[in-house]
A and B are shown apart, each in its own frame.
Chain A
């Protein structure tokens, strides 16, 4: 019975990290400074990635700007609640092409653990929408999640 419930649930990538920074700064760096930390080779424009922009409001665009000045949409802002919560629509499909009718959600929650420490809960959900074969992927998820949580627990204990 539990298995049936699990099969009906959405497929997500879930991560949690702790950042040694106030929640306000963590939220600001994640959003306004995304271009400073986003892995450079992960983008869809033709020329090199110059910046990543999140327009700071619900309905705002989430896009990249390339060195050639080209702007490519990645998605949009679904929830904008600084400094505690952000939900982005990731609208790059399995072929890494922007598709306005394709939506997967990226939710990031910032919880202050102290004046200079913030827990960041991350989820990229609706992964099953990437393709009709997603049901198959569930089988691979169990070990993946357990492994991720174990490594974060280790990091949290060490750091």
Chain B
């Protein structure tokens, strides 16, 4: 269930935009704010949520704080899908075995 918080964090469209930009390249708050129709404090707030959800990491490079995607976040994505298909296929198997051919 811990992974779901990551997906919940991405339910907000602006937050998703921030995440997608970081997927393309690591950026500072200022760089992110330049290309988005929201203020720097708003971007910082979104980054805080993304960081809390384990999707983004923050690193200091000189005087800049650079944000990038947390690879462990995508590991969570993969294992989430893996567990999802296990459940889905088990449910499918049950449904197929329960049904009769008419």
The residues of A with any CB-CB pair to B shorter than 8 Å are 11, 13, 15, 17, 19-22, 24-26, 29-30, 33, 36-39, 42, 94-97, 120, 122, 124, 127, 130-134, 136-137, 140, 144, 148
Task: Tell me whether A21 and B89 are in contact (CB under 8 A).
Answer: no
- A132-B23 contact, Cβ under 8 Å, with A19-B93, A26-B96, A137-B78: yes
The verdict on B43 contacting chain A, using a C-beta distance below 8 Å, is no
List, in ascending order, chain A residues with CB within 8 A of B89's CB.
15, 17, 120, 122
Task: Tell me whether B97 and A21 are in contact (CB under 8 A).
Answer: yes
**Would you give the shortest CB distance from A157 to chain B, in whole angstroms?**
16
Closest to A151 in B: B86
List, in ascending order, chain B residues with CB within 8 A of A136's CB.
71, 74-75
Task: Tell me whether A37 and B101 are in contact (CB under 8 A).
Answer: no
Number of A-B contacts (CB under 8 A): 96
List, in ascending order, chain B residues with CB within 8 A of A30's CB.
92, 96
CA A37 – CA B98 in complex, angstroms? 11
The residues of B with any CB-CB pair to A shorter than 8 Å are 7, 10, 16, 19-20, 23-24, 69, 71, 73-75, 77-79, 81-82, 84-97, 99, 101
Closest to A90 in B: B81
**Would you give the shortest CB distance from A132 to chain B, in whole angstroms?**
6
**Would you give the shortest CB distance from B77 to chain A, in whole angstroms?**
6
CA A130 – CA B84 in complex, angstroms? 16
Name the residue among B16, B86, B93 with the largest chain A CB count within 10 angstroms.
B93
A–B complex contacts, Cβ < 8 Å, 29 sampled: A13-B82, A15-B89, A17-B90, A19-B92, A20-B97, A25-B96, A29-B96, A36-B95, A37-B92, A37-B94, A37-B95, A38-B88, A39-B87, A42-B88, A94-B23, A94-B74, A97-B16, A120-B89, A127-B78, A127-B81, A130-B74, A130-B77, A132-B24, A133-B73, A133-B74, A136-B74, A137-B74, A137-B75, A140-B78
CA A82 – CA B99 in complex, angstroms? 18
CA A122 – CA B20 in complex, angstroms? 29
Closest to A30 in B: B92
Task: Tell me whether A15 and B16 are in contact (CB under 8 A).
Answer: no
CA A11 – CA B24 in complex, angstroms? 20
List, in ascending order, chain A residues with CB within 8 A of B84's CB.
39, 42
**Would you give the shortest CB distance from B49 to chain A, in whole angstroms?**
14
